[in-house]
Amino acid sequence: GQQLNQSPQSMFIQEGEDVSMNCTSSSIFNTWLWYKQDPGEGPVLLIALYKAGELTSNGRLTAQFGITRKDSFLNISASIPSDVGIYFCAGQNSGGSNYKLTFGKGTLLTVNP
C-alpha cells in the first residue's frame, strides 16, 4: 500500500526559530493535509492542499503541495511554546478509496521558551 515518509521524526528548537518538516510518498496523492495533535486530543486540521504546486498559508504556517504530487512540506515561522505537539501529514486520493487517509509517522516538535 501507499506509504508516507515524514521527516524529521522530532525537533527541539528555541522559541522564535523557524521550523520545516516534509513528507514524501511512493505514489501520488490528490490532496495533502497537515494536522497537529496535542496530548490527549484528536488531530486538528491545519492546512489542506488540493492542487499540485499549491502554496497555502494559515497565519505563521505555510504548506506546499509538491509539483510531482508525491511530496509536501510544512513551515512554521517564529515558533512559540504553544506550537509544541505532534504534526502529521496525510495524503488522500479520489476514487474508490477516496475516504482513506494515509498518515505520515509524525514529527514531534518541542519548543524551548
Partner 1 sequence: DTEVTQTPKHLVMGMTNKKSLKCEQHMGHRAMYWYKQKAKKPPELMFVYSYEKLSINESVPSRFSPECPNSSLLNLHLHALQPEDSALYLCASSQDRTANNYYGYTFGSGTRLTVV
Distance CA 71, CA 69 (A): 6
Q: Which of residues 76-95 bind partner 1 (CB under 8 A)?
A: 86, 88, 90, 92, 94
Q: Which of residues 26-65 bind partner 1 (CB under 8 A)?
A: 31, 33, 35, 40-45, 48, 50
Size of the site for partner 1 (CB under 8 A): 26
Q: Are 108 and 86 in contact (CB under 8 A)?
A: yes
Phi, psi (degrees; rounded to nearest 5) at 84: -60, 135
CA angle 68, 73, 78 (to 5 degrees): 155
Distance CA 56, CA 31 (A): 13
Q: Which is nearer to partner 1, 16 or 35 (CB)?
A: 35
At its nearest, how many Å lie between partner 1 and the CB of residue 16? 26
Applying CB under 8 A, the residues found at the interface with partner 1 are 31, 33, 35, 40-45, 48, 50, 86, 88, 90, 92, 94, 97-101, 103-106, 108
